[in-house]
Amino acid sequence: MVPDRSDPVSRGTLIAAVFACGITIAPAALAQDRGPIVIGEHEKMKFFKLDHFQASLDAYWRYRSDETKPATGRKTHDTETLYRESLLLSGDGYFGHPNLVKLDFDTRLQLSQEEFNSDTLNRNERTSENINEFDVRALVLQRSNTPLTIFSRRSQILLDRQFAESLDSITTEYGANLTLRSGIMPSQFQYIHREQEQTGRFSGTDSKLNQDTIAWHGRIRPVNGHRLWWDYTFSNVEESGLLQVPNSFQRHDAFLNHLYDFGSEAQHNLRTSLRFYKETGKFPIDRFRWDESLRLRHTPKFETKYDYSYDQQKRSQTNQTLHRSFISFRHELYDSLTTTGQIGASILDLTQSNFQSTQYFGDLGADYRKIVPLGTLFVTADVNFNRQEDSESGSSIQVSNVPNSFGVSDLIVINRRNIIASSIAITDLTGVSVFSEGPDYSVRVFGNNTEIRRVLGGNIASGQTVMISYLVGPEPANTTDTMGFGTTVRYRFEEGPLKGLSPYIRYRNQSQNRSGEDLVNLPKNDFQDLVIGTDYDFWRISMTAEHQIHDSTLSPFETTRLEGRYSQQLNQSNSLSVSAYYQDTDRVDEDLRTAISNVTARWNAKLTQQIRSNIVGIWRREEDSAGTDSNAFDLKLDMTWQYRQTMVYCTLQNTIVNSNTRDSTFQTFLVGIKRDF
């Protein structure tokens, strides 16, 4: 049936149908009706519209106390009392149209009063200050092919350090991000200006950073099977202050990566990576690295890889070149048996030291798993060979910024000979925070191993990853041949009364042969290492017990480790976990026995609909036969009470460290109230 156009209802139905089909045919429909019909109006432009706005008031009081009683010397007691009141404003809106300029902002206005009493610095002071923080972001043309984000932000936080004065950390940034949406070469461009200052609240020690950074990230697919992407960053940096070495430098950091997939099903690939790094200033470095990696998948169960890398580094005191190449394979003979292997070589040259190290290496391994009565049997075995030819090194060799993490034992072991212990330097991943031996960590050298232990109550967090630098002392020319063999057998019970039990045994044998002159300080490291242990999982408890016998020509030892973990989700909003760790190590040659005990408990709870709490407690004890004993206890409680738009919160932390050399106590109490409007 054809609708009557003279009928207003029918005419409206016809117009709606035509509009739904597409606005391209609308002019024809309008022309047939002999007159303009207004379907809708464009949204009017507005100078500024605020869509969402929120305000809140926040006020808190914090008390902090540090007390140290050394075995010899006077006791010191430092206290800080801080009051802060804040007004927070946040919201979002737009100028003209949401697609024209979209705005988001957060601001914080603070008043701060503080009282400081220090026996360490022999100072008593009262201070007051105004603190302004903000974060403003404007997104321009967000739906276009070139959206632009302009931002400016400033933050000021109080770094609360245990057994050290607090630091005011102020960071100001502004810049822009431009995105190029392109089917040919999508890219992102960024400019950031950053100013950071950290100042001891009462000692005046400080560190300052001014940095301008330009970055470009892009990618392109020139033809099918090829992918190319790159990153380039340029930074101009100025560092000053009493907490670091003043320095001004420029940094170029560029990556170029190419990946080529080929084969009938694109099962093979060739990857090329180039990196160029250049930094000027007091610690100049030039680095160029080239990596090639070819992966061939011959069958679904057999593949080979061919890798080569060239790394050249030039520093103020060293010029280092490293060539490394190896061939590896992986073969799955059955679903239960996998074999792997590799052979390769490397050449390291240090120009200033006139030192060269050449290595030839290879290893072959097998991984076997089999379903057996009541469970699964796992067996691994590997054999390896390494030949290292070192020329004489007349001076120390610098090793810089090696990442390591403190595990459950709070211990890092560096397996390298002739390390100069006094040269060890540790920083965080950014290199900004420098940790100190004594308050933050301790160092012990045993034969070819150097142990770095985290000090509870120091500024290194449990499980934290750090950067370690050190010097390796001069060594005579020598050649070292190392043969090794290892195997692991594990039986995991998955059925029956022993379900959850997983006994295992690990064995490794290493033999070395060294040749050269004056090898008194470079004895060979032959060892047999046997570990017998078991894991046991039942209910919500996991346990591990093992005993290790390390019979070595260098620093033999026996270690017993016990670990238990309990975790339970009490309900949707309550959880409890407890972990305990014990390690007893007996070093035969050093006549030193060390024991470490550690217990950690965590409880996250929603006590009522309004009250939440989080409690973490850590107890740690270290003792050795040399008479060095320490006990440490750390308790932290966080609690919040919220009713509608009002929240009351508090934090309590108490850390006690007692040892032969000193007794220290660190306490913090904070209580505050926040109201949203």
> Tokens 């597409």 map to which residue?
22
Q: From the CB of residue 426, how many other CB atoms can be counted at a distance below 10 Å?
A: 22
Contact 408, 500 (CB under 8 A): no
User: Hey, is 19 helix, strand or coil?
Assistant: helix
CA angle, corner 416, sides to 420 and 401, nearest 5?
A: 70
Q: Cα–chain-centroid distance for residue 637?
A: 25
Residue 562 has pLDDT above 50, yes or no: yes
**Sheet holding 411-415: strands in order across?**
411-415, 449-454, 441-446
Asked whether the predicted pLDDT for residue 232 surpasses 90, the reply is yes
Residue 21 has pLDDT above 50, yes or no: no
Do 172 and 139 touch, CB atoms closer than 8 A? Answer: no
Q: For 296-354, how does the pLDDT look when each residue is reduced to its tens digit (9 = 90+)?
A: 999 999 999 999 999 998 887 778 899 999 999 999 987 789 999 999 999 998 877 77
> What phi and psi, each to the nearest 5 degrees, are found at residue 463?
80, 5
Q: What is the mean pLDDT of the chain?
A: 85
d(CA 611, CA 648): 9
pLDDT (0 to 100) of residue 20: 36
- Asked if residue 382 has pLDDT above 90, the reply is yes
Angle, CA of 627, 594 and 164, to the nearest 5°: 70
Spell out the residues 6+ positions from residue 600 whose beta carbon is closer than 8 angstroms to its own.
578, 579, 580, 616, 617, 618, 619
Beta strands, E only, 588-628: 592-606, 611-624
Average pLDDT over every residue of 414-430: 81
pLDDT of residue 425 exceeding 90, the answer is: no
CB 153 within 8 Å of CB 90: no
pTM across the whole model: 0.74
Tokens in use for 68? 């140290």
Which pLDDT score, from 0 to 100, does residue 648 have? 96
| 179 contacts 171 by C-beta, under 8 angstroms | no
Q: How far apart are CA 451 and CA 416, in angstroms?
A: 11
Mean of the pLDDT values across residues 153-161? 79
What pLDDT, on a 0 to 100 scale, did the predictor assign at position 320? 87
Segment among 142-151, 362-371, 513-522, 657-666 with least mean pLDDT: 513-522
Q: Look at residue 5 in the predicted model and tell me its pLDDT.
A: 42
Helix (H/G/I), strand (E/B), else coil: 329: strand
For 641-662, b where at least 16 C-beta lie within 10 A, e where not — what string?
Answer: beeeeebbbbbebbbbbbeeeb
Contact residues for 626 (Cβ-Cβ < 8 A; gap 6+) = 592
Residue partners of 271: CB distance under 8 A and separation at least 6: 257, 258, 259, 260, 291, 292, 293, 294, 295
Distance CA 529, CA 509 (A): 6
Distance CA 13, CA 343 (A): 78
The reported pLDDT for the residue numbered 26 is 36
Averaged over 262-275, what is the pLDDT? 94
Task: State residue 430 phi and psi, 5-degree precision.
Answer: -80, -15
Distances (CA, A) of 548 to 242, 406, 486, 529: 47, 20, 14, 7
DSSP state for residue 43 in the 8-state scheme: P
Structure tokens given for 410: 């709070």
Sorting pLDDT into bands at 50, 70 and 90, what band is 161? low
Is the pLDDT assigned to residue 295 strictly greater than 50?
A: yes
Rg of the chain on CA atoms, in Å:
33
| Angle subtended at Cα 355 by Cα 396 and Cα 315, rounded to the nearest 5 degrees | 65
Q: Of 3-7, 319-323, 491-495, which range is least confident? A: 3-7
178/444: higher pLDDT: 178
Region 401-427 average pLDDT: 80
Nearest to 71 by CA among 629, 669, 643: 629
Q: Are 676 and 52 in contact (CB under 8 A)?
A: no
Residue type, 231: D
Q: Are 127 and 117 in contact (CB under 8 A)?
A: no
- 61 pLDDT band, cuts 50/70/90, is very high
For residues 632 and 598, is the Cβ–Cβ distance under 8 A?
Answer: no
**What is the three-class DSSP state of 75?**
coil
Length of the chain: 677
Place of tokens 């090794």: 484
pLDDT of residue 546: 96
Is 50 exposed, middle or buried, given 0-12, 13-18 or 19+ CB atoms closer than 10 A? exposed
Torsion of CA 293, 296, 302, 306, to 10 degrees: -30
To which H or E segment does residue 15 belong? helix 8-21
191, with CB counted inside 10 A (0-12, 13-18, 19+), is middle
Q: How far is CA 618 from its chain centroid?
A: 22
Contact 596, 580 (CB under 8 A): no
SS3 call for 579: strand
Mean pLDDT of 55-62: 93
Residues forming a β-bridge with 130: 111
Distance (Å, rounded) from C-alpha 107 to C-alpha 512? 65
Q: How many CA atoms lie within 13 A of 179 on its CB side?
A: 13
Closest CA to 496 of 370, 376, 379, 378: 376
Q: Is pLDDT at 485 greater than 90 in this prediction?
A: yes
If you search the block for the tokens 């290893």, which residue do you land on?
A: 363
DSSP structural state of residue 397: E
Residue indicated by tokens 């070395």:
512
Q: Give, in order, the Cα–Cα distances in Å from 135 to each of 213, 229, 537, 538.
A: 19, 31, 48, 49
